[in-house]
């Protein structure tokens, strides 16, 4: 029979997206990554159809003999990888993980201190997102532009003055580690807890290239599992505090999650094992690439921020593009050249500038996973200069980008699908090409 035209269109759109983003673009979105072939294979399983409300061994549905074991394995593997006692893998996103912890620690009308929005706080930390939805008042911590970080002395005084229920550290623009130890000491002195959102740097923590905030005094960490940690989209909460873990687990279900999307659990487990084998090399190359990329962009004429601090210690780079029309215009021009970035607020922008901010944000983690190294990112910087500074036709540069990308199609720092596993199981990767 002939396929309905609507069905044909859906398949065409999906296949076009896969070709474009997976094989023809240079992806520099700092919050994205790709799974390995084996993690993808583990993701596309019957578990995506099933329900498992509750905790392993205490489900409200039958049929979870194997999903229970997988969930317990994820908890064990992530605990070993992060060197912590307790892991809660059921939040379906980093934002949901934040919501759970925020609600555990505060009631509507309570106060929380957060990193400034323009300096990189995730929207879920703010009155514009999850914190506001929970009715918790957000008060911004002082930010020091010279150190591109929270001003510790002023922050301590603010903590003493406000006496918040909790302080949130971590960010979506996360160039340098936040002062977790100093902030935790001040927070604990007034009976407050410290939540550290490590969504962007979880893979760097696993690869021991970024400090683990739990080891520096934070009470609980929240995360997603698909940025520098190259797993499936999902959320995570971890802590060394048994009472905190028990409270978090009681709030995850039934307050914030019903079924927790079981097919992401085996893929998360595979990625955790990959990070045990390849995580240090991967994290090291991410950071080396970010530093080299930032230097190359500066040499090409871009205003890369935090130059006096070495630009970055993470996967993220921030560029002030006001001389070329601002973040919205530049991000769109680069997209036309198949270079994918996002517009981003900078510290001097007002929150209302979110639709047309001063900057763009870049991340090296995905293209590092496809094998790019320092010299390759210098070539990317030249492509960006051609489009943004030289004003060349983006379609002309797009052809060069597509040709360049052909050198980087294979996922590195992970496991392929073993042939013997394919022969013994029904695992397939139904990628539309």
pLDDT at 126: 78
pLDDT at 425: 62
pLDDT at 427: 58
pLDDT at 71: 97
Give the residue with greater pLDDT, 265 vs 350.
265
| pLDDT of 2 higher than 60 | yes
- Is the previous residue joined to 254 through a cis bond, with omega within 30 degrees of 0? yes
Average pLDDT over residues 248-272: 95
What mean pLDDT, rounded, does the chain reach?
A: 94
pLDDT at 128: 81
Residue 26 falls within a domain, yes or no?
no
Average pLDDT over residues 11-25: 96
| pLDDT of 431 higher than 50 | no
Residue 47 falls within a domain, yes or no?
yes
Whole-prediction pTM value? 0.95
Q: How confident is the model at residue 368 (pLDDT cuts 50, 70, 90)?
A: very high
pLDDT at 422: 64
| pLDDT of 429 higher than 60 | no
Residue 51 falls within a domain, yes or no?
yes
| pLDDT of 226 higher than 70 | yes
Average pLDDT over residues 239-262: 95
| pLDDT of 401 higher than 60 | yes
Which DSSP helix (H) or strand (E) runs through 54? strand 54-55
| pLDDT tens, residue by residue, 322-340 | 999 999 999 999 999 999 9
pLDDT at 426: 60
| pLDDT tens, residue by residue, 353-366 | 889 999 999 999 99
Residue 45 falls within a domain, yes or no?
yes
Task: Look at the block and give the residue holding tokens 């799974």.
Answer: 35
Closest CA relative to residue 295, chosen from 280, 279, 310: 310
CATH classification of the domain holding 115: 3.40.640.10
Evaluate whether 87 touches 238 at the Cβ level (below 8 Å): yes
pLDDT at 124: 80
| pLDDT of 163 higher than 60 | yes
Residue 424 falls within a domain, yes or no?
no
Structural domain range at position 212: 40-273
Task: Look at the block and give the residue holding tokens 């080396």.
Answer: 288
β-pairing, 166-169 vs 111-114, is parallel
For 83-116, give one letter per residue: b (16+ CB within 10 A) or e.
Answer: ebebbbbbbbbbbbbbbbbbbbbbeeeeebbbbb
Average pLDDT over residues 138-166: 95
* Total domains in the fold of the chain: 1
Q: What is the DSSP letter of 165?
A: S
pLDDT at 127: 81
pLDDT at 432: 41
Taking the C-alpha atoms of residue 174 and residue 140, their distance in angstroms, rounded to an integer, is 16
| pLDDT of 232 higher than 90 | yes
Residue 74 falls within a domain, yes or no?
yes
pLDDT at 428: 57
155 CB-contact burial (10 Å; exposed 0-12 / middle 13-18 / buried 19+): buried
| pLDDT of 14 higher than 60 | yes
Residue 115 falls within a domain, yes or no?
yes
β-pairing, 359-363 vs 342-344, is antiparallel
Average pLDDT over residues 96-101: 95
pLDDT at 419: 73
Residue 20 falls within a domain, yes or no?
no
């Amino acid at each position: 029979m002939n396929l309905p035209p609507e069905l044909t269109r859906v398949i065409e759109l999906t296949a076009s997206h896969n070709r474009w983003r997976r094989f023809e673009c240079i992806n520099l979105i700092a919050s994205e990554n790709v799974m390995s072939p084996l993690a993808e294979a583990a993701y596309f399983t019957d578990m995506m159809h099933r329900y498992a409300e509750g905790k392993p061994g205490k489900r409200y549905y039958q049929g979870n003999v194997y999903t229970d074991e997988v969930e317990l394995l994820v908890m064990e593997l992530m605990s070993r990888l992060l060197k912590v006692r307790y892991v809660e893998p059921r939040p379906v996103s980093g934002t949901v993980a934040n919501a759970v912890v925020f609600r555990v620690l505060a009631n509507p009308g309570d106060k929380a201190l957060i990193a400034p929005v323009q300096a990189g706080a995730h929207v879920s930390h703010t009155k514009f997102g999850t914190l506001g939805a929970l009715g918790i008042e957000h008060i911004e911590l002082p930010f020091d532009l010279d150190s591109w970080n929270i001003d510790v002395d002023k922050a301590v005084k603010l903590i003493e003055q406000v006496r918040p229920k909790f302080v949130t550290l971590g960010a979506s623009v996360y160039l340098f580690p936040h002062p977790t130890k100093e902030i935790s000491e001040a927070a604990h002195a007034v009976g407050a807890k410290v939540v550290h959102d490590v969504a962007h740097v979880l893979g760097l923590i696993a690869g021991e290239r970024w400090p683990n905030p739990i080891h520096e005094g934070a009470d609980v960490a929240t995360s997603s599992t698909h940025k520098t940690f190259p797993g499936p989209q999902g959320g995570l909460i971890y802590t060394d505090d048994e009472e905190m873990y028990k409270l978090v687990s009681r709030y995850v279900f039934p307050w914030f999650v019903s079924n927790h999307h079981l097919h992401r659990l085996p893929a998360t487990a595979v990625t955790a094992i990959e990070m045990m084998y390849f995580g240090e090399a991967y994290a090291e190359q991410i950071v080396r690439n970010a530093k080299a990329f930032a230097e190359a962009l500066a040499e090409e004429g871009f205003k890369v921020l935090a130059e006096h601090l070495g630009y970055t210690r993470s996967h993220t780079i921030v560029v002030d593009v006001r001389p070329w029309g601002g973040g919205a215009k530049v991000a769109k021009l680069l997209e036309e050249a198949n270079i994918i970035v996002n517009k981003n607020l900078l510290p001097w922008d007002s929150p209302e500038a979110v639709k047309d901010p001063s900057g763009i944000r870049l991340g090296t983690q995905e293209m590092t996973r496809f094998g790019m190294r320092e010299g390759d990112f210098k070539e990317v910087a030249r492509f960006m200069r051609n489009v943004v500074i030289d004003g060349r036709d983006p379609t002309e540069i797009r052809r060069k980008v597509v040709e360049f990308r052909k050198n980087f199609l294979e996922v590195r720092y992970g496991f392929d699908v073993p042939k013997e596993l394919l022969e013994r199981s029904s695992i397939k990767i139904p990628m539309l090409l």
